[in-house]
Structure 1
Amino acid sequence: MRFPLLLTLQALWLTVCQATQHYPTTWGHYDLCKSHGYTDEGPTWYYMACQPEAADMTKYLKVTLDPPNITCGDPPETYCTLENPYMCNNECDAATDELAHPPELMFDFEGRNPTTFWQSTSWKKYPKALAVNITLSWNKTIELTDDIVITFESGRPEQMVLEKSLDYGRSWQPYQFYATDCLDAFTMEAKTVRDITQHTLLDIICTEEYSRGYVWKNDKTVRFEIKDRFALFAGPKLHNMASLYGQLDTTKNLRDFFTITDLRVRLLRPATGATMVDENNLSRYFYAISDIKVHGRCKCNLHANSCIFDKEKLTCECEHNTTGPDCGRCKRNYQARAWSAGSYLPIPKGTANICLPNSVGPVIRQNISSLGVANRNQVAPQVALSTVPSVQVANSKRGRRTRFISSNYCVSVCHPNYPPPPSPE
């Protein structure tokens, strides 16, 4: 029994090794900003590009509706279903918790039954457009990492636009147009994400794929496909992240395409069931959204591996002697060279591009990797070593969380005659 088991384990190990060699970046997530090690001169810190883990960003947003009184329930209103105009037993009443449908229900946990959802007033002012703007604001620069998914409890809108802002809502650019008839609604040719290539990735398209009436639950969703766009560089299963990171690192327009401070959902025309609008029963026509998913990470310019939410605001916990909400400038007394964002390259550790103390002398040995501070009296660039385990502890003096290298790890990697160097800010 042991011999076949050993062969199986050996085959498994070879498979893992081959996968590691073929897809090196799937094992490196830029999750450490620095690691501790030793050189001939003594203890040193090695610096790497780092970024926070991706997370559900809907936990940290502020939602605004325009017009402000577009939510149903004030006054109470009865609705009919789109499929059956005679089934009119759905009531919305803002004064009753069980019957209210406020905006925050677009972002709550959706494991319950019945489903919770936000709902608009009905199309009672037809033929005037039933237009609604839903704006999601983070007051922070966000990098998208997964598809934006909007789940409708009503029929999906016949016309809709998803927009983005990079300047906190001062200006807006379209991300994607959605319609049952793109040519009629927006004078655009209908396309899907499958029509996009590496050369046309930044093109804004109109799609008819998400505007049909629904039969199954999956047909309730409207998507903006982030991962399909990533796959143009990283491959169908996103295994070749090195290629994607290389493109993001060297192409600012591509990087900005996946970066936002705000999103806006513009609902322009509700579902009508592919028929003429029944003016005698306008309570059939409305918008209802049960869930919005936005996954991403704080943009920290590859100078932080964590982002905190404090006093209703997201802020990067900056490393590499940087500061600011996005780690976008050097700290005071660390301005010996101009600030620069970190780099994903070379794969898989990247380049930290740390800010240097003003007292640094003119002799600096450059190389392709990160710059490390050897000790209090010596500053020299070092090659980034393999990452080592880290622990998170509370720093009572500064009142914030700070990451330090675990002292237990020194048993196996640190020189016994040297204590660990002090952790830089």
Structure 2
Amino acid sequence: MIKTLFRYCSLRENAMGVMEEVCNICDASSKTRSHPASYLTDLNNLQNVTCWVSEPSTDYPYNVTLTLSLRKKYELTYISVQFCNRLADSMAFYKSVDFGKTWMPFQFYSTECQKIYDRNPNIKIGKHNEQEALCTNTHALTSVPNRVAFATLENRPSAFEFEHSPVLQDWITATDIRVVFNRLSPDQVTIDFIPVIIMCEYFYISPGADCERCKTFHLDRPWGRATSENANHCVGKSFLQFFLSRR
């Protein structure tokens, strides 16, 4: 049975600029003291800084899971998770490329990688394993006590030639992200995420949500990925131009 009333604590900056722990009561039955999942919010909106609070849970293997649907394919180079309190002790990132039908490991964080995730924290990434999910010691992450930042291409050998690496292009592509908190020390988290629906900018010549093909009459050259030097626009004539040229 899920409790509706429990105590939780968070880090706050006091008038002297020092971070201190402040404790409150979370009551799921109270509108003013509840912290539902709808409180996951964009960190950049300073007018609406709210925190989602899960029920306290520290007993592995029980977990708290967040699943974020991006609604289309994105290439993710950076994922930032901001906690209202300290970092979770052990958490795992998973990604899906088929809108949540299947999941694959993306990144692990834990003070005990081997015990919690059966992962060697000292694995080195080479050309042969550029799509391997690593496990990083949570305490070695950052000087910021309540933030984790996952750079998906960091320490991947082909990162500097990303535009020519189908392996890494596939590695950072996702339609959904799942964050699993396996062993929690804090009870709150906010995630830097804005749900939006994005269409291809040149939909009229590159149909499909991801601009993944060229439209009829725009096939003068094969479809190609955009690069930092060339947008690789589809080239051709519109139906009207084609019709007029045939008259």
Where structure 2 has 5 or more consecutive residues not aligned to the other structure, the ranges are: 12-20
Give the secondary structure class of the aligned counterpart of 2:162.
helix
Q: Is the CA contact 1:322–1:354 (under 8 Å) kept in the aligned structure 2?
A: no
1:248 equivalent to 2:180? Answer no
Of 98, 113, 123, the residue aligned with 1:167 is 98
Amino acid at match of 2:134: I
Give the secondary structure class of the aligned counterpart of 2:154.
helix
1:94 equivalent to 2:8? Answer no
Higher percent of residues as helix? 1
Counterpart for residue 225 of structure 1: 151
1:287 equivalent to 2:187? Answer yes
State the shift of 1:107 in Å.
1.8
Counterpart for residue 323 of structure 1: 207
Q: Is the CA contact 1:144–1:259 (under 8 Å) kept in the aligned structure 2?
A: yes
State the shift of 1:158 in Å.
2.2
How many residue pairs get matched? 236
State the shift of 1:255 in Å.
0.6
Distance 1:360 1:268, change over 3 A: same
Q: Is the CA contact 2:205–2:218 (under 8 Å) kept in the aligned structure 1?
A: no
User: What CA distance in whole angstroms lies between the structure 2 residues aligned with 1:258 and 1:160?
Assistant: 19
1:151 equivalent to 2:77? Answer no
User: What CA distance in whole angstroms lies between the structure 1 residues aligned with 2:198 and 2:125?
Assistant: 33
State the shift of 1:340 in Å.
2.0
State the shift of 1:199 in Å.
5.7
Work out the percentage of aligned pairs sharing the same amino acid: 24
**Deviation per residue, 1:266-323 (Å, 9 max, x gap):** 111112xxxxxxxxxxxxxx6210x32359xxxxxxxxxxxxx9xx733223257221
Give the secondary structure class of the aligned counterpart of 2:95.
strand
Amino acid at match of 2:87: R
User: What CA distance in whole angstroms lies between the structure 1 residues aligned with 2:69 and 2:75?
Assistant: 13
TM-score where L is the length of structure 1? 0.46
Spell out the pairing of 1:300-311 with structure 2 (5 A cutoff): none
Counterpart for residue 413 of structure 1: none
Where structure 1 has 5 or more consecutive residues not aligned to the other structure, the ranges are: 1-68, 235-243, 272-285, 296-308, 362-375, 379-425
**Deviation per residue, 1:238-283 (Å, 9 max, x gap):** xxxxxx4xx3333222111111100000111112xxxxxxxxxxxx
1:108 equivalent to 2:8? Answer no
Counterpart for residue 133 of structure 1: 65
Counterpart for residue 264 of structure 1: 178
User: What CA distance in whole angstroms lies between the structure 2 residues aligned with 1:339 and 1:199?
Assistant: 30
State the shift of 1:164 in Å.
0.5
Distance 1:203 1:98, change over 3 A: same
State the shift of 1:338 in Å.
8.5
State the shift of 1:128 in Å.
6.8
